[in-house]
């Protein structure tokens, strides 16, 4: 349901209620091979959107970074989602596309990331600005607290320093950490309205669900599946930092681990 909601608001052919949270485009694309395995129709329509509409909006370098978070995707993403350059140059691929996707209506609140990119360019600058104006309360932020997965700290720092240099942010240092406060939220909000609340970390959520799905793909038919699942979740623990839905303890209830993890993964996919 989450995938249909998010892809439909982007312009994929289909009917679904609007999602409740702002989307993260590269996280959605990186996760799509898993969805396509379960729903080939959505996979085909998403590929049509990605090839025909995506070049206007997708941050390709960030997409490569998020693909690396998804276990098992790096090897399969090329045939499932060709690079934009390859897709655009292959007439044979274009003729197989459904041609049903349309450009998104950028006034949808959940598309604040795309609106920002249309104004400020596709990349870190647009996503930093969208993150700043999406704060529930205007409060100081640090580079590490903005939560932009897929961009390097130097790239985020450059954007913040540029905004501070023109008075949009106020910058000060405390110890070794730089702090930034949005001084002029009004003009930026006016540009990006309607601005929804800050979204959950879709990159981390979808990467964790990908861990579960990939572990099932490789070990689901074996008696050792629960053991392999516990090991995979332990390796992925850094992705769980700051999540509202904490993962089930892998050792406390070994007999119910598989059921507990399945329920937890479903909560991560709440639209």
- pLDDT, one tens digit per residue, over 70-89 is 886 554 444 445 444 445 55
Both 217 and 263 in a single domain? yes
Q: What is the pLDDT of residue 255?
A: 76
Both 83 and 127 in a single domain? no
Coil, helix or strand at residue 27: helix
Token pair, residue 128, equals 């930093």
Q: CA-CA-CA-CA torsion for 17, 20, 24, 29, nearest 10 degrees?
A: -30
Domain that holds residue 42: 2-96
Q: Is the pLDDT of residue 253 over 90?
A: no
The verdict on residue 103 lying in a domain is: no
Q: Is the pLDDT of residue 252 over 70?
A: no
The verdict on residue 25 lying in a domain is: yes
Contacts from 6-10 at CB under 8 Å and sequence distance 24+?
6/110, 6/271, 7/42, 7/45, 7/46, 7/49, 9/104, 9/108, 9/110, 9/111, 10/49, 10/53, 10/104, 10/111
Question: End-to-end distance of the chain based on CA atoms, in angstroms?
Answer: 7
Q: Any idea what the CATH number is for the domain that residue 183 is in? A: 1.10.10.10
Both 160 and 242 in a single domain? no
Q: Is the pLDDT of residue 178 over 50?
A: yes
Q: For 36-46, what is the mean pLDDT?
A: 89
Share of the chain above pLDDT 70, in %: 89
pTM above 0.85, yes or no: yes
Both 170 and 242 in a single domain? no
pLDDT tens per residue, range 93-144: 555 788 899 999 999 999 999 999 999 999 999 999 999 999 888 889 998 8
Both 183 and 236 in a single domain? no
Q: What is the pLDDT of residue 271?
A: 58
Q: Which of 63, 96, 129 is the last residue of a domain?
A: 96
The verdict on residue 162 lying in a domain is: yes
150 conformational bin, left if phi > 0, alpha if psi -120 to 50, beta if neither: left
Both 91 and 8 in a single domain? yes
Share of the chain above pLDDT 90, in %: 48
Q: Is the pLDDT of residue 251 over 90?
A: no
Both 125 and 62 in a single domain? no
Contact (Cβ atoms closer than 8 angstroms) between residue 135 and residue 198: yes
Q: What is the pLDDT of residue 79?
A: 42
Contacts from 52-57 at CB under 8 Å and sequence distance 24+?
52/94, 52/97, 52/99, 52/101, 53/10, 53/11, 53/101, 53/102, 53/103, 53/104, 54/29, 54/84, 55/84, 55/88, 56/103, 56/122, 57/25, 57/114, 57/117, 57/122
Both 122 and 66 in a single domain? no
Q: For 189-209, what is the mean pLDDT?
A: 90
Q: Which of 149, 168, 192 is the last residue of a domain?
A: 192
The verdict on residue 209 lying in a domain is: yes
Q: Which of 192, 215, 245 is the last residue of a domain?
A: 192
Q: Is the pLDDT of residue 63 over 90?
A: yes
Both 235 and 216 in a single domain? yes
Both 27 and 75 in a single domain? yes
Q: For the chain, how many structural domains are there in total?
A: 3
The verdict on residue 124 lying in a domain is: yes
Both 240 and 216 in a single domain? yes
Q: How many CB atoms lie within 10 A of CB 98?
A: 14
The verdict on residue 90 lying in a domain is: yes
Both 82 and 145 in a single domain? no
Contact (Cβ atoms closer than 8 angstroms) between residue 160 and residue 173: no
Q: Is the pLDDT of residue 227 over 70?
A: yes
The verdict on residue 181 lying in a domain is: yes
Q: Is the pLDDT of residue 188 over 80?
A: yes
Q: Is the pLDDT of residue 162 over 50?
A: yes
**In a 10 Å sphere around its CB, with 0-12 CB exposed, 13-18 middle and 19+ buried, how is residue 137 labelled?**
exposed
Q: What is the mean pLDDT of the chain?
A: 86
Q: What is the pLDDT of residue 57?
A: 95
Read off the pLDDT band of 209 (50, 70, 90). very high
The verdict on residue 102 lying in a domain is: no
């Amino acid at each position: 349901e989450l995938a249909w909601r998010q892809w439909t608001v982007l312009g994929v052919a289909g009917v679904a209620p609007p999602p409740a949270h702002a989307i993260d485009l590269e996280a959605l694309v990186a996760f799509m091979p898993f969805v396509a395995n379960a729903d080939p129709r959505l996979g085909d329509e998403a590929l049509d959107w990605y090839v025909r509409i995506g070049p206007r909006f997708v941050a390709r370098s960030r997409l490569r970074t998020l693909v690396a978070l998804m276990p098992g995707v790096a090897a399969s993403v090329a045939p499932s989602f060709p690079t934009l350059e390859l897709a655009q140059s292959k007439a044979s691929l274009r003729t197989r596309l459904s041609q049903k996707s349309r450009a998104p209506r950028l006034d949808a609140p959940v598309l604040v990331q795309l609106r920002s990119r249309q104004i400020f360019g596709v990349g870190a600058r647009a996503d930093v600005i969208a993150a700043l104006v999406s704060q529930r309360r205007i409060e100081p932020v640090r580079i590490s607290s903005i939560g932009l997965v897929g961009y390097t700290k130097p790239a985020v720092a450059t954007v913040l320093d540029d905004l501070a240099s023109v008075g949009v942010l106020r910058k000060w240092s405390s110890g070794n950490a730089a702090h930034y406060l949005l001084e002029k939220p009004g003009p930026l909000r006016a540009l990006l309205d309607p601005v929804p609340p800050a979204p959950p970390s879709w990159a981390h959520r979808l990467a964790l669900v990908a861990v579960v799905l990939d572990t099932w793909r490789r070990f689901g038919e074996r008696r050792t599946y629960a053991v392999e699942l516990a090991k995979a979740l332990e390796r992925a623990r850094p992705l769980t930092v700051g999540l509202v839905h904490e993962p089930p303890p892998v050792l406390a209830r070994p007999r119910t681990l598989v059921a507990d993890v399945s329920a937890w993964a479903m909560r991560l996919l709440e639209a």
